[in-house]
Amino acid sequence: MDIDLFTAATPNGYKVSIMLEELKLKYKVHTINFSKKEQKEKWFLDLNPNGRIPVIRDNKKKLVVFESGAILLYLANKYKKLIPTDEKNKINVIQWLMFQMSGVGPMQGQANVFYRYFEKNIPEAISRYQNETRRLYEVLDHQLKGRNWICDEYSIADIANWAWVRVYFWAGVNIDGLDNIKKWMKKMEERPACIKGVNVPKRQSSKKIVSGAKKMLQT
């Protein structure tokens, strides 16, 4: 196989599986079991010292890359796809990728924690992260006005942001009035690579997801 993918059924994991599907690469999936803490085992920490998914191993180059954003950039640059070649447009794609990495992902992730997983109900924390996620969605909705894709042409910026925004409901975030995002999500949902990518690996039942996440919070 060209690529070994170490992943799990999460938005960050799906970003990479969608990218691999878009590039039509041959890859082998290694599903990491969080409940068994496989991400903390030595063999995995040798791949990523931070103990997080996703990770890829490029077998042709004998190169390991971790952090989902870094993986998207690596693959886009290597195969010269889904990222512009001219500096101005390339930087535009990178900044919207970072918008997801530093904003949407962390804020929506914390909304997930306090809305779905945290044993104690803390309304202030829930509203803080849901409201900030909604604000970021509004920024994205404005960017999408008059555009089919975030940066005019389909790119890794769309993949990264959609992997999170598509599960807005899990964080309890309201998308009423965000018509540009809704149209964009529909276009993303129609892409064969997106359809396949969000099933690599298959998502667990809601009950198992909540149970597993609560166990992780206790460690």
Contacts 24+ apart (CB under 8 A), 180-188: 180/141, 180/142, 180/144, 180/145, 180/147, 181/137, 181/140, 181/141, 181/144, 183/144, 184/144, 184/148, 184/149, 184/150, 184/158, 187/148, 187/149, 188/158, 188/162
Question: Is the pLDDT confidence value at 216 over 60?
Answer: no
pLDDT at 205: 63
The count of other CB atoms within 10 Å of the CB of residue 157 is 26
Asked if residue 22 lies in contact with residue 16, where contact means CB atoms within 8 angstroms, the answer is no
Tokens coding 205: 């039942």
Average pLDDT over residues 122-144: 98
CATH number for the segment(s) 3-81: 3.40.30.10
Residue 211: pLDDT band with limits 50, 70, 90: low
CATH 1.20.1050.10 domain position(s) in the chain:
87-196
Query: pTM value?
Result: 0.94
Tokens coding 200: 């690599």
Candidate CATH numbers 3.40.190.80, 1.10.240.10, 3.40.50.720, 1.20.1050.10; the one for domain 87-196: 1.20.1050.10
Question: Is the pLDDT confidence value at 208 over 70?
Answer: no
pLDDT at 218: 53
pLDDT at 34: 92
SS3 for 175? coil
For the chain, how far is it from start to end, CA to CA, in angstroms?
Answer: 35
Average pLDDT over residues 198-208: 77
CA angle 80, 71, 41 (to 5 degrees): 155
On average, the pLDDT of the chain sits at 94
Average pLDDT over residues 28-45: 95
Model confidence over 63-116: pLDDT tens digits?
Answer: 999 999 999 999 999 999 999 999 999 999 999 999 999 999 999 999 999 999
Provide the residue type at 70 as one letter. A
pLDDT at 63: 98
pLDDT at 109: 97
In terms of DSSP bridges, do strands 55-58 and 27-31 run parallel, antiparallel, or are they unpaired? Answer: unpaired
Asked if residue 154 lies in contact with residue 188, where contact means CB atoms within 8 angstroms, the answer is no
Helices 11-23 and 156-165, axial angle in degrees (round to 10): 140
SS3 for 14? helix
Contacts 24+ apart (CB under 8 A), 34-43: 34/8, 34/212, 34/215, 34/216, 35/212, 35/215, 37/219
Question: Is the pLDDT confidence value at 217 over 60?
Answer: no
pLDDT at 73: 98
Model confidence over 42-64: pLDDT tens digits?
Answer: 999 999 999 999 999 999 999 99
Question: Is the pLDDT confidence value at 213 over 70?
Answer: no
The b-or-e profile of 120-129 (16+ CB within 10 A means b, else e) is: eeeeebbeeb
CATH 3.40.30.10 domain position(s) in the chain:
3-81
pLDDT at 203: 73
Question: Is the pLDDT confidence value at 214 over 80?
Answer: no
Residue 1: pLDDT band with limits 50, 70, 90: confident
